[in-house]
Amino acid sequence: MRLPFCGPHEINHFFCEILSVLKLACADTRLNQMVIFGTCVFILLGPLCLVLVSYSCILFAILRIQSREGRKKAFSTCSSHLCVVGLYFGSAIVMYMTPNSSHPEEQQKILSLFYSLFNPMLNPLIYSLRNAEVKGALRRVL
C-alpha cells in the first residue's frame, strides 16, 4: 500500500489490522477498500459456500439414516463443526465485508478479537462438548 500517512501514527487497535491502518492514510482509500472487499469475496465467501454445500449434502445423507440414535450422533458431530465455522466466518464477514462507517472502532476491535483469539480458544471446548464427562464438568461449573 503506497499511501501517504499523516497525523497520529498510532493504530487504534490491538494489532496492525489493515482497516485501522487505512484510517491513518491521508489519501483516498476507496480503491484499497474495494480491493479488500473483492479479496474477501474469494477468501471468505468462497470457502464458506463450499462448506455450506458440503454440509447440505451431509444433511441429506443424515436424514436418510434410519436409526434415531445414528441421526442424533451425526447431528452432534456436524453441529459442533458448523458452530466453529459460523463463528469464524460470521465475525470475519461482518468485520471485512460491511461498510466501515457502520462499525465504530471499539466494535471492530471486539470483532477482530473474536475471530483471531476467542474462536481458536473456544475450538477445544466446542469440539469436546460431545464428550459426556466434559458436559458433566461444564454443568457443575455453571
pLDDT digits (tens, 9 = 90+) for 4-63: 887 777 777 777 777 778 888 888 888 888 888 888 888 888 998 999 999 899 889 888
Could you give the CA distance from residue 125 to residue 120 in angstroms, rounded to a whole number? 10
Predicted confidence at residue 85, as pLDDT, reads 84
Q: What average pLDDT does the chain have?
A: 81
- 22, 33 in Cβ contact below 8 A? yes
This prediction has a pTM of 0.68
Average pLDDT over residues 89-103: 72
Could you give the CA distance from residue 142 to residue 126 in angstroms, rounded to a whole number? 16
Average pLDDT over residues 111-122: 79
Predicted confidence at residue 130, as pLDDT, reads 67
Residue 77 CA from chain centroid, whole number = 19
CA dist 59 to 55, 77, 79, 89, 99, Å? 6, 12, 11, 20, 34
